Structure 1
Amino acid sequence: MTRKVIITRLIAVVSFFVLICFVLTVASKIVCAKFIGDSTSIVNGFYAEKKNDIDVIVIGSSNSFCTVDPIVLYEEYGIAAYDFGSSSQPMNLSVLYLKEAFRRQKPKVVALEVNMMVGGGLYNISEAGLRWGLTDIPLSIDKLKCIYQSVGAVNAEYFSYVFPMFRYHSRWKELTKLDYTYFGQDKTNYTKGYLETQSVSETAVTLNEYDYDGDAWIEEENIHYLDEIVRLCKKNNAELLLFKSPKENWHRYETEALRTLADARDVRFVDYNELFYNDALELDLAADFRDDEHLNDFGARKVTSHLGQYLKENYELPDRRADEKPNAWDMACTYRERKGWKAYMAATSAKECLEMLQEDKNFILIVTDTKAKKGKETRQWVYEDCKVALDITWKEAGVRHRKIGDSALVLARVKNVYQVLIDEVDHYQMGGRWNIIVYDKILNQVTASLVFLE
């Protein structure tokens, strides 16, 4: 066999395996579970950020991204931060996330939420925690090492994390349009990784067990990963801050054990359970938590405000509000400001609602009048850029297609049934003469579908 033949066959074998890996990767992206609002949105949102644009990276489990609200940090202190975490994130995944962060960003501060430092090691972590943390991280040597650390062997389970198709192949019957289109969509995360909610815990949270006696359980492997995080921060000229979010069943002895570890490594540590216990932090235990372990928006704002002041006092961080051009955090603030309840939603008539909205070019209005021409016809029109862009008087069944913002609009009449579909979701509401659907071009979503008798 000649050298040329050997090289040709070797290239063919390598090409075959590359093709197989490519097919498995694409198939995995389609069939894998999409943790929208959790790790999928957080991770892909991070990779959508402009390189070297983040000054503070927040790493950790759900306690991190339910506690630190980057929009509040920016509004109050001009700090450009991102919550780059995943639910139930074990310490070896925190190392992986930090390595990924340093590949794309040059943060001045890394804030590690230490909830997962205390308690059992890797082998007590649930599969769900690993799936949440690993599924959306791009394949790399570091990810392969992390999977091996988590699984402990190169076996079928190991490859199910490398190619999630092996775990989620049975989802093919449940696939929706989102599964096929998600990875072509804009991944911008306008909460900067924070998980918004104003829901309140059904029962008041109890933090009065903080001073109970006991012994902290910190596995050696978690200390090893903490040391790896310290080393990575030093190597990349970032300062490390450890912090603990408020939660039930956290105790002083755990705080003291972690403070000993932090002091030995010349790292700052802030415990918000300790601050609350010492009356240095005000929290409403009946209103500021979404459950017994996580803050809601009200509690997160209070803790984030304190954290922002601490960051400003102890680290050299620029005020990005002074940037000459609007940045990603300015847009995120605008996004949040436009969400939620607005005055037009309380309008008592279609005329009043239209008068409130017609001068705002960032709104597209899809208006339906079911009693046009003295009740003889139904008329629909699209109001965009402060003028009528499409006007239809329905006399028979039909369909009209139009692009609005980043979405697909379909206006349809089937017999005497009318539809207003935006990205395949019908937003038309019956019950009155008028239906006004409000589409926000900044949010790229419907913000209201209102019905008026007159």
Structure 2
Amino acid sequence: MRKKWIRGGIFLCLVLLLLSNLNRILCVKSPHGVDQTRYLYVQPKNKIDVLFLGSSHVHCNVNTQLLWDEYGMAAYLMTGAEQPLWNSYYNLKEALKTQKPKLVVLDMFCPSRFYDDFQPGWADENLDGMRISLNKLEAVYTSVQEEQSHFFLGFTEYHSRYDQLTTEDFQNFVWNRKTQERWKGYTPLNRHAELTEPDMSHVTTSQEMTEKSKEYFEKIVELTKKEGITLALISGPYLLEERDQEVYNSIGQLAEKDGLLFWNTNTPAHYREMGLDFSTDYADHAHLNEAGGAKYTAYLGKWLSQNYSFPDRRGQKGYESWENQLMKSGE
């Protein structure tokens, strides 16, 4: 009888191991949100000093290798395509399970542009990489109204991906952990678009974020204060519209009320100072290409170093994965 139990236990363990590895192969991979969350779990514990939250305007524009090389900044981009503030909030809660960042840098693009309380079009990028937990359950219910079990469980989406598998799908195993650690979320774009520089300096009126965005903004403010984390607000360069600027004017007022800095680089003066060229440095209307991202990263790093404190980790034990980082092209 005992031998049967032992054999049954071994068989069950083998089945679970098989299913676990099958899940690692079939799960969706994407460098525009899914992987940013999934790779958080393999980062060295309590080593991330600067955590970025927000949209693809961050992970396509902010080169974490350059921030490391210039400032020794142990930064990580826990971002996702069109990430609303409620997903930023639940991502922050998830990160705090394993990390103790000294500074959180929050991208404010999405609350300025999108006015839907639910954004199912990009929900998968902001939910699929998160491990099953109560935090994920709350994130799902806050993010989507339909197919909530689909977003929570995940495998219902990708269980039939057999004909879509690539070599990347077979690199998601425990023995690849050291390689996975080296990716900090940066997803450079190599496309090129010629654009006309915007100027919204004439927009002086204000328009508030939606009530839901404002609610989760305040939740982020409260959580960072509770955890003793400094919070910085940014918006990187893109082709902004008048309504965006109206919301930014309102965000500036909110930031002042909460004693925060909001650094919106969407002005001609900022473009000149960072040397941004709209005929060469953009991938599309919303994102910089790799060359433009290098200019913005240098400008952002200087601003962060002048206004906030974070350690220079270069040469310190435990931070080896930041020294020679992996890049994932966003095409």
Residue of structure 1 aligned with 2:134, choices 135, 141, 165: 141
Displacement after TM superposition at 1:183 (Å): 3.7
Q: Which structure has the highest strand share of the two?
A: 1
Note closer, same or farther for the CA distance 1:32–1:205 as it changes in structure 2 (3 Å cut).
farther
Q: Give the deviation of 1:103 after TM superposition.
A: 1.3
1:113 is aligned to 107
In the alignment, is residue 243 of structure 1 matched against residue 211 of structure 2? no
Q: 2:97 aligns with which of 99, 103, 124?
A: 103
Find the partner of 2:155 among 147, 165, 170. 165
| Cα 1:31–1:264 shift into 2, 3 Å | same
Q: CA deviation at 1:164?
A: 1.9
Quick one: structure 1 residues 44 and 262, their matched pair in 2 at CA, closer, same or farther if it must change by over 3 Å? Answer: same
8 Å contact kept, 2:34–2:127: no
Looking at structure 2, the residues matched to 288 and 250 of structure 1 have their Cα atoms a distance apart, in angstroms, of: 19
CA distance in 1, matches of 2:133, 2:52: 22
Partner residue in 1 for 2:33:
39
Q: TM-score, normalised by structure 1?
A: 0.62
Q: Aligned partners of 1:281 and 1:178: how far apart in 2?
A: 36
Structure 2: segments with no counterpart, 5+ residues = 1-14
Partner of 2:283: 290
SS in 1 for 2:282: coil
Seen in structure 2, the aligned counterparts of structure 1 residues 315 and 275 have a Cα distance that, compared at 3 Å, is farther
Note closer, same or farther for the CA distance 1:81–1:275 as it changes in structure 2 (3 Å cut).
Answer: farther
Correspondence for 2:218 among 196, 221, 227: 227
The range that moved more, 306-315 or 235-244, is: 306-315
What is the aligned partner in structure 2 of residue 419 from structure 1? Answer: none
Separation (CA, whole Å) in 1 of partners of 2:155 and 2:315: 46
Work out whether residues 120 and 144 of structure 2, in 8 Å CA contact, stay in contact via their aligned partners in 1.
no
* Matched ranges for 1:237-386 at <5 A: 237-251=228-242, 252-274=245-267, 276=269, 279-323=272-316, 327-332=320-325
One-letter amino acid of the counterpart of residue 74, structure 1: W
Aligned-CA RMSD value:
2.9
How far did residue 206 of structure 1 move?
A: 2.8
Separation (CA, whole Å) in 1 of partners of 2:169 and 2:315? 40
3-state SS of 1:241 partner: strand
Q: Give, in angstroms, the shift of residue 327 of structure 1.
A: 2.4
Q: Which amino acid aligns with 2:184?
A: K
CA offset digits 1:51-95 (Å, max 9, x no partner)? 111111011010111222111111112211111111111211101
Change (3 A) 1:161 1:231: same
Distance in 2 of aligned mates of 1:103 and 1:243 = 24
Mapped to 2, the partners of 1:275 and 1:103 lie a distance apart of 40
Deviation, 1:182, is: 2.5
**Residue of structure 2 equivalent to 1:61:** 55
More helix by share: 2
Q: 2-side partners of 1:39 and 1:138: how far apart?
A: 14
Q: Distance in 2 between matches of 1:255 and 1:33?
A: 34
1:152-188 deviation digits (Å, cap 9, x = unpaired): 4xx6x01101122223344344345654652443352
> Aligned equivalents of 1:277 and 1:240: distance in 2?
21
Matched, 1:190 2:196: no
1:331 and 1:172 mapped to 2: Cα distance? 33
- 2:72 is matched with 78
Code of the residue aligned with 1:137 in structure 2: it is M
Larger Rg, first or second structure (1 or 2): 1
- The one-letter code sitting in structure 2 at the alignment partner of 1:192 is K
Which structure 1 segments of 5+ residues have no match? 1-19, 340-454
Task: Report the 3-state secondary structure (helix = DSSP H, G, I; strand = E; otherwise coil) of the residue aligned with 2:310.
Answer: coil
Query: Residue 281 of structure 1: CA displacement?
Result: 3.5
Q: TM-score, normalised by structure 2?
A: 0.83
- The code of the aligned residue for 1:76 comes to E
- CA distance in 1: counterparts of 2:216 and 2:240, whole angstroms: 24
- For the 8 Å contact 1:276–1:282, the answer to whether it is kept is no
CA contact (8 A) 2:48 2:75 kept: yes
Q: CA contact under 8 A between 1:25 and 1:163: conserved in structure 2?
A: no
Q: Do the aligned partners of residues 180 and 195 (structure 1) sit closer, same or farther apart at CA in structure 2, a change above 3 Å counting?
A: closer
**Do the aligned partners of 2:53 and 2:106 also contact (CA within 8 Å) in 1?**
yes
Q: Please say if residues 79 and 320 of structure 1, whose CA atoms lie closer than 8 Å, have aligned partners that are also in contact.
A: yes
- Greater RCO between the two (CA within 8 Å, min separation 6)? 2
Q: Deviations over 1:126-154 (max 9, x none)?
A: 33x110111111111011011111224xx
Return 289-298 or 270-279, whichever deviates more. Answer: 270-279
Q: State the partner residue of 1:407.
A: none
Residues 218 and 176 (structure 1), Cα distance of their counterparts in 2 relative to 1, 3 Å cut: same
Cα distance in 1, alignment partners of residues 310 and 297 from structure 2: 16
